[in-house]
Amino acid sequence: MTELTHAAAAIHDCPPHSVGAVLAALRAYGYLYDGEDAADVLHVGTWLEADPESHRMGRDFAHAMMESAPDAAFTAYDAPRDGELGEVNTYVPDLGLFNAPCGADAEPMFRRSELLKLAAQPAADRDRALRLPWLNATSRMPGRTVAGPPRLVARWTLGGPIVVPDDTHADLVAPGPIATEERAREALARLGFAQGPDWRAPGGSCWPTSTAAPATAA
């Protein structure tokens, strides 16, 4: 991290099929502002500064990420503010979530009594308390650009089925009646897709469309 701020997040690693979910979480918690129609490209290893009005969002972001993109690795931190310590959250799939109070440098902070207790613990336990396994793991994750899988267009008439055209195989169909957008999202999920932007009617067509990104494609 070359420059510290009040709050920031970085994605250390992400498989292509989770790019959409990660970008959605970054936007939802104020780390990205490029809109839903932006390209599904994630810059791994880049620190993203949070909205100046956000505070104590790192923990909520971490739990949202673990739910929607459990195979991605990341760090999110909030710097000290109003006399309170900050908080750092680092997640690596094989290690789980590390959470601790932190200073302005995003490094974990401990009371003297806590450090004395750590000194008496086995080395492996002490290393985990100091975040060393997470730092070692993320240091081996190179910065890179990861593109999400290609998006497809799903067509749906209110009350009818959802059709995802496929030029190489048979079209994927979620049978109707599908009467609400919530049911439409559920139907897409059963087909293995995550809905992109809201349904909208293109010019010259009576079929509302939505961009559907494969949820499980590698």
| Structural domain ending residue among the three candidates 131, 146, 161 | 146
In a domain, 181, yes or no: yes
Residues 79 and 128 in one domain: yes
Residues 141 and 153 in one domain: no
**Alpha carbon 125 to chain centroid distance?**
28
Residues 133 and 153 in one domain: no
In a domain, 1, yes or no: no
pLDDT at position 106 is 85
- The answer to whether the pTM exceeds 0.85 is no
In a domain, 123, yes or no: yes
Question: In a 10 Å sphere around its CB, with 0-12 CB exposed, 13-18 middle and 19+ buried, how is residue 16 labelled?
Answer: middle
Pairwise CA distance, residues 162 & 113, whole Å = 60
In a domain, 58, yes or no: yes
Task: Tell me if 147 sits within 8 A of 22, measured CB to CB.
Answer: no
In order of 27, 28, 58, 91, 112, the CA distances from 135 in angstroms are 25, 26, 18, 10, 23
Residues 124 and 71 in one domain: yes
Max CA distance (Å), the chain: 73
- Token reading at 177: 């009646």
Residues 23 and 122 in one domain: yes
pLDDT at position 79 is 87
In a domain, 47, yes or no: yes
Pairwise CA distance, residues 186 & 92, whole Å = 29
**Alpha carbon 137 to chain centroid distance?**
18
Residues 169 and 128 in one domain: no
Amino acid identity of 54? Answer: S
pLDDT at position 21 is 87
- Token reading at 146: 């990861």
Block means of pLDDT (10 residues each) for the chain, length 218 residues?
69 91 90 68 92 79 94 94 89 97 88 89 92 96 90 81 76 84 85 71 50 54
String of b and e for 74-100 (b: at least 16 CB within 10 Å)? bbbbbbeeeeebbbbbbbbeebeebbb
For residue 194, give its domain range: 149-214
Residues 16 and 87 in one domain: yes
Total tally of structural domains belonging to the chain: 2
